[in-house]
Structure 1
Amino acid sequence: MQRIVTTTLLAISLCLSIAFTSAQAANAKDHPLINRFPGANIDQYEHLEYEEMSFILSKPYHKDGAWVADKILPVAGKVTYIYYKLPKTKSPLQVFRNYQKAIKKQNMTVLFNCERTCVNVNAGHLDHLYNNHQDFYFNYGFDQYIVAKRDNFYLSLIVNDGGVFQLVIEEETLNDDLISPIAEALASTGKIDLYGFHFDSGKSALKPESDSELAELATILNEHPALKIKIVGHTDNVGDSKANLKLSAARAKSVLNALVKNFNVNAANLSAEGQGETQPVDTNSTDMGRAKNRRVEIIAINPEVIYGGTANTYNTDHTTAEAAAEAQQEAPADNSGNIVDSAEEVVDKAEKVKDVAKRFKKFF
């Protein structure tokens, strides 16, 4: 019974996966760099904010049991992959000639052009030359191939009996500053001491050099609108303890007001208080120790909403976990009383089937 149900679930998962891919392709649009050939339909579509792939700029050839090319151009940036199916009445040569003309009209520079039959090899066998780690679908002959460039846009087209395999990369530098150290600390420990808020001695007004720290904290709060934090001011032990307590509270309040007024952070998610000199993190007997004690502490009331630094990741995983728990409670049992399949297993198997189906399709 378990085998039958599992097989059925896998079949359903595969159907849903195929349906999702078709729906994604149906909602996809041509890349603005170049239009599709009239009558062509998008069969597969993928878009990535950042990836590196390679363009083949010389005729591939077989050497020592492998396909190689003397000129390969790696390009990184936004990647758009589209596979178009063509009307049966249109020949690949007709389509390729039209694309060549369109590229010329777009004032693009042709980096490489290889006409039929460019190389007698299945286009899918050149994955390593494309640096195709995403396993984009390339198939049929490597018959007609062109690479062109305009500004920071790179375009390649393979046109064959299967249709048009289009790759566009908008070259750009990777934004590798997406994971904030503040967000990481709040997500992992629930708090962080910040030293980027600057005040004059004995004063509570924020100095202009505090703006960068404020901006980073505000970005986290605005990206995670459910996140609630407590802003806690701390001082060293120099001066009167009651005055230090009052000063620390005023400084925390200044940070709160700046977040709300200057960065549109939701005030309902913020609270402020002062602890004065009561919670030192280092000795007050040295200048360095006192400097460490003068700080603004950020405490996350609900750090779980950050989960890995991105709200989307948390929402997705959280929803999946809830769905898995519900599915497991409702899952049918076999005669021995065992659950047939947990929701996690179904999701995992569906992903494996999807991957196998995609790879299997490449060979036909």
Structure 2
Amino acid sequence: MRRPAAIAALIFALATPTLAAPPELTLPQGAGLSAHATNPATSYDLLTGPWHAGGGERRQLEGVRADSAWRLRANQMTTLQILADLREQIVAAGYLPLYECETDSCGGFDFRYALDLLPEPEMHVDLGDFRYLAASRGAEFLALTVSRSSESGFVHLTTLSAQAISTAQPSNPLQPDSPLPAPAPAPGLGPTLEANGAAVLEDLIFESGKVELEPAEFESLRALADYLSTRPEMRIALVGHTDTEGSLAGNIAISQKRAAAVRARLIADYGVTPAQISAEGAGWLAPRASNQTPEGRAKNRRVEVIITSTQD
């Protein structure tokens, strides 16, 4: 049984008398409002496509904005289950979906940190399990982000009543209720590897301080296995990386063990030939972001795949 989230409509209605009524969503039972903020006049970039090397598609808006975050305590629904019901309610309220994605298809870490969300702990986003929906109804826009921790679900809703609208491509302006062009697909893991020589496996999940890979299906591993099956001559190395917490020697050991766990999963579950993969650890010697912030440290904790050679 669920309870109506009438508080959502109430707080948005109080934000400003010119803001049109947002969809009155029904959240799962036990959902509690953890944070709310309003701004009577602001700019907002609504993400409308996946993040890739050149950035992400977005719609630049100006108007009245409201943000709310809910925590679904002791809720074991998947992010898809949470989002699917809310999406159905949003569509029933007359909104047109503009873009929807899940973790890797969104663009992983870069997409998540392009989202302008209320901060932790009010809104928690697991970098390996989040979903996003953007939608519009005339000059009303919304962005819905859903994620979860091991024990709770999290929902973030941004609504914006647009007063002035522009697009990221001013030479081809769009009206507020015009359908957006289909975004160009993000390059797959194989093309990224061949173009750059390396790619980050963004969706991998390790418990804090642990070296075992969680028992889940990871799209990046499936994509890597599929690619290697078509390129039997390819040799790759999985390289683990950490943030700067702890000693270098300890972090190198942890990062190597995590890379080894990924290698073992690829061989055991995806049938990759063992000779094609090695596992190495770099510790905190190759950061891709500053270790001075939580976001930067999270970005640095990763496993990358790099091409080492091809065997003719």
Aligning the two structures, in what range does the TM-score lie when normalised by the shorter sequence? 0.3 to 0.5
Larger CA Rg, structure 1 vs 2: 1
Structure-2-length-normalised TM-score = 0.40
- The structure with the greater share of residues assigned to helix is 1
